[in-house]
Structure 1
Amino acid sequence: MEKVNMKNLGLTDRLIQDSQQYKNLYIGRISSQFTNLYKVITEKGEMTAQISGKFRHSVSDLSEYPAVGDFVMVDRIDNTQGDGIIHQVLTRKSTFARKVAGRKTDTQVVAANIDTLFICMSLNNDFNLRRLERYISVAWDSGAVPVIVLTKSDLCSDLEEKRKEVESIAIGIEIIITSSISEDGFEELKKYLSDGKTVAFIGSSGVGKSTLTNHLLGESIIETSGIRNDDKGRHTTTRRELFMIPNLGVVIDTPGMKELGIIHADLSKSFADIEELAAQCKFNDCTHNKEPKCAVQNAIQEGTLSPERLESFRKLKKETKYDGLNSKRIEKEKLNDMFSGVGDMKNARKFIKEKNKKKIR
């Protein structure tokens, strides 16, 4: 069997140096994840592995477990003598993560060590600027470079209008428009591929991520499906998976996300237009509601900023502020926001007193 070029797989000198502290272990990269098993690529090829008992008991958060794209230290390089054992996850250079669905505050790492993150959104019924803002905010925070890929352009009757709408919120991000029918835009994606680099596709179900991945791979490795009667794509990919592209790095395909719960986000980049306007407001603590000489409200009145974008900014700002706090801390933070201009907090105490009375009743 031909030896795997780990440098093409993304192995860097920094990772090699990091690995030297772990004696009698080998470097591998997580290519896919199952319930209790992982697939790991080593210089001998792909093998199955599981985490050690010591590792399992040492982690305190879901995000510390190995994820697709992670470089890990394993006790062997093939399965000739059974499953490998993962003992350590090496330091990540980038992490695209989301809040676990439901009320838990655990962080789920979708993919790690990504250089370019392709945020996919189709130009049919999936088109949603507010959701795209969420993806952009998390993508900038991940440490990877985001690129927006608009798919299924053949189903769009107002392509230029849609492009302008996306350009208004995708500040400093390249936009690539693709069609699986004519293969428009596919070649533009390839310029992000190179030896040792990792690209990943993220987005909702059925937007065409697997079709794009297959094109980069040069063959139909991943099963794809057509669109349903409601103009939405069928969900095909069921798990995150990493694929090697000979001499062109690797690509990660991910399942569609019904929701993107936010743990961390970089709003200063994703909402740079609002941040720039806010710096021009008369008051440093301007809430952009009814204050005089508010540059943000002036922009809305002049039509250069949409009210929906401002509301989206406020919503994401609150999510990133409250996430991870327990119910008491969240209530305290909300009260602080509500009565931030009250010096002696009399109104806050009155509010709490009235609220407690209602609970007793």
Structure 2
Amino acid sequence: MKQLPIAQVLPELKTILNTSAAAVLIAEPGAGKTTGTPPAFLDEPWMAGKTILMLEPRRLAARSAASYMASLLGERAGQTVGYRMRNDTKVGPDTRIVVVTEGVLTRMLQSDPSLGDVGLVIFDEFHERSLHADLGLALTLEAQAVLREDLRILIMSATLDSGRVSAMLGGAPVVDCPGRNFPVETVYLPGSGDRQLEHSAAAAVRRALAEQPGDVLVFLPGEREIRRTERELESSALPPGTVLRPLYGQLPQAQQDAAVAPAIPGERKVVLATSIAETSLTIEGVRTVIDTGLRRTQVFSPRTGMPRLATVPVSKASADQRRGRAGRTAPGVCYRLWSAEEHARLPDDTVPEIMETDLAQLALELALW
């Protein structure tokens, strides 16, 4: 971990949390914040044998981060480092770092508001602003204020308005860390309006395989588009040794692991993914990103009183996160399936989930709290 940029700022971060109740870490992609930060605090005096909880928005990223941190210690997940998520838990009596998904943190706070055996709560990738992450932070802040003055809170992100978050935390110190991204060339490939998404994505994949080295990561809005693009590519002649790997939240774990794992020698991997691959996850071998510029989200409909799934354009911040996936291990290229003019019109940031989703569940959680 010494070779990663995060090592440069860990001493400063330790000094801050030794005397402060909260801190904000802004670390660019490739800095190593997700897997490098939690282990650094295990032996701090104020931890006194307590546990570190790290909130990771996505199940795949949570499992991957825990496994990687465990490997750095020469262990398997479930020993010093473990994880908790719905229907999948690996923790043991000696576990000191627990990576949890969003709903799990809320349940833990509801059952034990003081988080008695926890010394530090880390909110990773907080810029995604999911409803569960916002709620988890609100409950943790109240627990800290009322029950646990000694509880520390650390918010981490690559793209975040650090001033606003610091103010929300009572003027918490902000630490900036450079990343370790390699240069990424951006190529705009606007398509015609009458061309279906899977045709445009498949054409970009064929071009990337012909023009660029390494593996390819394609961002698509959902499982339906992934399967359609997969069929489109399977119906055409791909270079020998090309393998297609879908990657989305409902995929069985073994298939998710196959998508993330390095390609075997002699193969080139094309990963067809949702935004699950946007942050906190390095897919080894990827040198090219193809971004359709779309994401799927739940939007509350006042007319029906029910949430519905909507496909919407990504924000500039999200597009930059996706682009950065091509430069994690070597120089890369990002093909964007829209024009530079369309890019200029994208919103700067993704709308927080609390602004567009059904709040009935949130009201029930707050009533229980």
Confirm or deny a common fold (TM above 0.5).
no
More helix by percentage: 2
Q: Larger Cα Rg: Structure 1 or Structure 2?
A: 1
TM-score scaled by structure 1? 0.29
TM-score of the aligned structures, taking structure 2 as reference length = 0.29
Larger relative contact order (CA 8 Å, sep ≥ 6): 2
